[in-house]
């Protein structure tokens, strides 16, 4: 289908702004300490009889084992008394999110399908997590929800019906799991190895879900990821992407303090209402005001505006000029994202020539405008292609997508 049919009003008239998330799931009887905050660890220690006066020191030790050394077994925690190790193992685990499949793209991108506690019949909930190696960094793209309650019309995740919020531990757990898989833990026995460059150097919350619809868990999970004595990713290397949940943007700045990316994608309300239906609730005027007021905004801490390039929909040169006018005065970067197609979508990616012309206008206006090269297309790992196997693609659909990736 061509992009022009995307503008047919009847396609969008019924698109609800949001779906209801599941309020319950069945947690395992023996919880995992992986992803826990210090307060939760203190509570866990209390529950196995560690007195309050000892808790602080024991939390420090557990923290070091779990988040610096990546311990997977209580028995390995030699700084803890043997009885305490046994008591912890009685009641807790160090389980990571379970890997269902791992795919490695020809360009080195890795995608993990992860199973999380789910339905009472034992069926897990699934999310995807993607690692993108580059020469100067390694970026881990993590999820905040199973699916997404929002229905952006160009996003595959938005078509998934089942939605549940991740816990803070499940959010931080994705970083722990990536460090395991990439063998990216500090090797305390080899001092120099502690200095080696981290493979996971950046985290972007651009996987499944709308992070600002799961605010507390995202805030608490990212606090674990950013803790300087543990996983230690600086907040400047953590980016939270939102589709524009205006009332939560100031809180995100104050309480999370990560870098902010805003999924803009259109410069008029008329078009944005169709691409990002949440715009009907929080229109551009309000969104831009929230961006201008973002706590800590400065030239050193710019907002990234994401703009997906949809052929014949939002990619005219007039759109490019209107984009510049819209963000005028905001310290910003612009990320032009070539649209990643998925089976059944009504959109097409803009032609490269058009993306280049669009990008030139943005660049001439003084904005860095890297065109985000699609990564991992052959394994469906690119932005907006994430959709867990709960609603699996057929083998034929996957082949079709792979073919598209190879012929691009």
**Contact positions vs ligand SAH (CB under 6 A):** 148, 152, 154-156, 206, 210, 241-243, 263, 306, 308, 337, 339-340, 383-384
Q: How many residues does the chain have?
A: 408
Number of chain positions touching ligand SF4 (CB under 6 A): 11
Gap between the Cα atoms of 30 and 26, Å rounded: 12
Q: Binding of ligand SF4 at residue 152 (CB under 6 A)?
A: yes
133 φ/ψ sector (left φ>0, alpha ψ -120 to 50, else beta)? beta
Q: Binding of ligand SF4 at residue 148 (CB under 6 A)?
A: yes
φ and ψ at residue 70, rounded to 5 degrees: 70, 30
Nearer to ligand SF4, 152 or 169 (CB): 152
Asked if 131 and 110 touch (Cβ cutoff 8 Å), the reply is: yes
Nearer to ligand SF4, 169 or 276 (CB): 276
Burial class (CB in 10 A: 0-12, 13-18, 19+), 283: middle
Nearer to ligand SF4, 53 or 161 (CB): 161
**Cα–Cα distances in Å, from 159 out to 150, 151, 354, 402?**
9, 7, 28, 20
Which two tokens mark 164? Answer: 């549940």
In whole angstroms, the minimum distance from the beta carbon of 339 to ligand SAH comes to: 5
Closest CA relative to residue 127, chosen from 165, 94, 168 = 165
Binding to ligand SF4, residues 64-83 (CB under 6 A): none
Gap between the Cα atoms of 130 and 113, Å rounded: 9
Gap between the Cα atoms of 79 and 72, Å rounded: 15
- DSSP lists the bridge partners of residue 32 as 93
**Cα–Cα distances in Å, from 191 out to 188, 233, 282, 284?**
6, 20, 51, 51
Stretch that binds ligand SF4, among 3-11, 117-125, 154-162, 328-336 (CB under 6 A): 154-162
Q: Binding of ligand SF4 at residue 128 (CB under 6 A)?
A: no
- DSSP lists the bridge partners of residue 132 as 139
Residue in the structure block whose two tokens are 């722990």: 176
In whole angstroms, the minimum distance from the beta carbon of 105 to ligand SAH comes to: 16
In whole angstroms, the minimum distance from the beta carbon of 121 to ligand SAH comes to: 29
Nearer to ligand SAH, 150 or 177 (CB): 150
Which two tokens mark 226? Answer: 């950013």
Cite the DSSP H helix spans in 111-232: 168-181, 215-226
Partner interacting with residue 340 (select from ligand SF4, ligand SAH, none; CB below 5-8 Å by kind):
ligand SAH
Helix (H, G, I), strand (E, B) or coil at 157: helix
Nearer to ligand SF4, 155 or 171 (CB): 155
Closest CA relative to residue 131, chosen from 82, 52, 184 = 184
> Which among 126, 128, 210, 306 is annotated as catalytic?
128
In whole angstroms, the minimum distance from the beta carbon of 373 to ligand SAH comes to: 12
> Which among 229, 349, 383, 391 is annotated as catalytic?
383
Cite the DSSP H helix spans in 124-213: 168-181
Closest CA relative to residue 70, chosen from 201, 236, 169, 182 = 182
Q: Is 383 known to be catalytic?
A: yes
- DSSP lists the bridge partners of residue 263 as 306
Q: Binding of ligand SF4 at residue 314 (CB under 6 A)?
A: no
In whole angstroms, the minimum distance from the beta carbon of 2 to ligand SF4 comes to: 22
In whole angstroms, the minimum distance from the beta carbon of 278 to ligand SF4 comes to: 7
**Cα–Cα distances in Å, from 300 out to 110, 129, 222?**
30, 28, 21
In whole angstroms, the minimum distance from the beta carbon of 175 to ligand SAH comes to: 17
Q: Is 129 known to be catalytic?
A: no
Among 150, 175, 217, 258, binds ligand SF4 (CB under 6 A): 150
Q: Binding of ligand SF4 at residue 380 (CB under 6 A)?
A: no
Stretch that binds ligand SF4, among 122-130, 143-151, 370-378, 391-399 (CB under 6 A): 143-151
Residue nearest to ligand SF4 (CB): 158
In whole angstroms, the minimum distance from the beta carbon of 167 to ligand SAH comes to: 18
If one counts every other C-beta atom within 10 angstroms of the C-beta of residue 153, the result is 19
Q: Binding of ligand SF4 at residue 243 (CB under 6 A)?
A: yes
Q: Binding of ligand SF4 at residue 382 (CB under 6 A)?
A: no
Among 128, 170, 184, 210, binds ligand SF4 (CB under 6 A): 210
Residue nearest to ligand SAH (CB): 384
Partner interacting with residue 88 (select from ligand SF4, ligand SAH, none; CB below 5-8 Å by kind):
none
> Which residues are catalytic, by number?
128, 383
| Contact residues for ligand SF4, defined by CB under 6 A | 148, 150-152, 155, 157-158, 209-210, 243, 263
């Amino acid at each position: 289908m061509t992009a022009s049919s995307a503008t047919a009003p009847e396609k969008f008239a019924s698109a609800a702004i949001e779906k209801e998330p599941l309020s319950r799931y069945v947690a395992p009887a023996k919880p995992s300490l992986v992803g826990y905050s210090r307060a939760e660890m203190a509570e866990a220690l209390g529950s196995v009889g560690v007195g309050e006066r000892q808790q602080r020191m024991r939390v420090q030790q557990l923290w070091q084992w779990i988040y610096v050394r990546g311990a997977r077994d209580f028995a390995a925690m030699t700084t803890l008394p043997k009885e305490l190790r046994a008591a912890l193992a009685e009641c807790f685990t160090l389980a990571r999110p379970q890997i269902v499949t791992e795919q490695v793209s020809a360009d080195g991108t890795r995608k993990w399908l992860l199973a999380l506690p789910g339905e009472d019949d034992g069926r897990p909930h699934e999310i995807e997590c993607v690692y993108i190696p580059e020469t100067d960094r390694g970026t881990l793209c993590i999820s905040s929800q199973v699916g997404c309650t929002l229905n952006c019309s160009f996003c595959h995740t938005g078509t998934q019906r089942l939605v549940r919020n991740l816990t803070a531990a499940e959010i931080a757990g994705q970083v722990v799991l990536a460090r395991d898989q990439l063998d990216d833990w500090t090797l305390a026995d080899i001092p120099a190895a502690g200095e080696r460059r981290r493979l996971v150097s950046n985290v972007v919350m651009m996987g499944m879900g709308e992070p600002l619809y799961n605010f507390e868990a995202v805030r608490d999970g990212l606090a674990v990821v950013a803790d300087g004595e543990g996983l230690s990713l600086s907040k400047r290397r953590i980016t939270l992407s939102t589709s524009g949940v205006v009332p939560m943007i100031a809180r995100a700045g104050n309480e999370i303090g990560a870098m902010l990316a805003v999924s803009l994608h259109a410069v008029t309300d008329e078009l944005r209402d169709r691409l990002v239906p949440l715009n009907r609730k929080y229109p551009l005027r309000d969104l831009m005001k929230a961006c201008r007021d973002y706590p800590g905004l400065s030239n050193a801490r710019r907002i990234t505006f994401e703009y997906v390039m949809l052929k014949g929909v939002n990619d005219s040169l007039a759109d490019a000029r209107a984009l510049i006018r819209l963000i005028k005065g905001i310290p910003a970067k612009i990320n032009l994202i070539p649209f990643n197609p998925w089976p059944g979508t009504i959109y097409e990616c803009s032609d490269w020539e058009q993306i280049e012309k669009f990008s030139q206008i943005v660049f001439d206006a003084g904005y860095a405008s890297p065109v985000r090269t699609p990564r991992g297309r052959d394994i469906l790992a690119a932005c907006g292609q994430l959709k867990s196997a709960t609603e699996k693609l057929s083998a034929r659909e996957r082949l079709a997508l792979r073919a598209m990736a190879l012929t691009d």
